[in-house]
Amino acid sequence: MSSEVTVVGAGIFGLACAWAMARRGARVRVLEAARIGAGSSGGNVGALSPHAPENWNEKKQVQLESLLAAEGFWGEVAAAGGVDSGYGRIGRLQPVAADGVAKAEARIAAAKAHWPEGFGMRLVDAPEGLEGLWLHDRLSARIAPRRALAALAAAIRAAGGVIKEGCGEVGPEGPTPPVVWATGAPGLAVLGAGGGVKGQSALLALPGASGPQLYTDGLHVVPHADGTVAIGSTSERAFSDGTATDAQLDALIERARAAVPALRDAPVADRWAGVRPRAASRAPLVGAWPGRPGHVIANGGFKIGFGMAPWVAAAVADLVLGGDNRIPAAWRVS
């Protein structure tokens, strides 16, 4: 294809879409109002975790395909641009309540039915310092969000793409098509298709931290490769400053310290807040912008944008470069 594709927004969706098109030979330029990771993607958690495998549906199937594609996707990005994303398939542990064994066994059976061989769930003893039975899965992974964005930016540039930061807000009329709009929560507001849910998260310094991520008491506890452990996240519908951290984050950190003794004395290395793009349907919002030929939306990652990025990027590249549309009907823009 000879014409240039413009991507508006340099978060995980915009950069992943730009890379997916650049690796297929398209000329891409990314226009970002502020800077790479200025929106919801510039955080620090990076849990790539599957939906519960019971009550299987199309959304869970697509998420599974994206999580399975992630290892190859991030490996290729690192090879192309020379920057590692911090990706690692570290698995996940979740506590099983004393009266929850039958439910856990049903979940294990559902994972066996829907996940590929080798990625199942099983019951295991508590990790050191914790108690009871835990449910372990081998599908969950982690990524370092800011490193992932840097890795994508390097790969895009290595493929000849251009990323322009500090452009100011690109107006809704937009540049000449084809255009991919990956503008996060502000973009959903423009479409009248949703808005933002604020989240706060933190990194604690714990040199040598390793092992699976934990999901306990509603908290994500994610060990990263650089000796930090991420703690996420609050979920706030009402807020006045989407980037301010406050006492709600202090409370989250205290809950994590109480739940995981190894974190009790770990100093806080980073505090962060951002606004997740939440479509009215809660599902991703991806596809052609109705009535605007050549304009495509890639949005609505909500709480799983990093996990969904490999699949969404490939589907958007198919749509823009090949005209092929394999996006679930429920995700398309109406």
Ligand X SMILES: Cc1cc2nc3c(=O)[nH]c(=O)nc-3n(C[C@H](O)[C@H](O)[C@H](O)COP(=O)(O)OP(=O)(O)OC[C@H]3O[C@@H](n4cnc5c(N)ncnc54)[C@H](O)[C@@H]3O)c2cc1C
Question: Which residues here bind ligand X, judged by CB under 6 A?
Answer: 8-14, 31-34, 38-41, 43, 45-48, 167, 169-170, 182-184, 186-187, 199-201, 220, 232-233, 274, 276-277, 299, 301-307
State the minimum distance, in angstroms, from the CB of residue 105 to ligand X: 27
Given the complex with ligand X, which of 127 and 242 has the nearer CB atom? 242
Rounded Cα distance between 90 and 49, Å, is: 10
Given the complex with ligand X, which of 25 and 218 has the nearer CB atom? 218
Given the complex with ligand X, which of 44 and 108 has the nearer CB atom? 44
State the minimum distance, in angstroms, from the CB of residue 23 to ligand X: 18
State the minimum distance, in angstroms, from the CB of residue 20 to ligand X: 13
| Residues near 141 by beta carbon (within 8 Å), at least 6 away in sequence | 48, 67, 70, 71, 87, 88, 89, 90
Given the complex with ligand X, which of 9 and 310 has the nearer CB atom? 9
Integer angstrom CA distances of residue 58 from 121, 207, 222, 319: 21, 40, 27, 19
| 71 three-state secondary structure | helix
State the minimum distance, in angstroms, from the CB of residue 131 to ligand X: 25
State the minimum distance, in angstroms, from the CB of residue 224 to ligand X: 11
- Contact between 219 and 263 (Cβ < 8 Å): no
User: What is the full DSSP assignment across 141-199?
Assistant: EE--HHHHHHHHHHHHHHTT-EEE-S--PPPTT-SSSSEEE--HHHHHHHHTSEEEEEE
Given the complex with ligand X, which of 15 and 108 has the nearer CB atom? 15
Residue that has been written with the tokens 């290729």 in this structure: 76
- Contact between 41 and 9 (Cβ < 8 Å): no
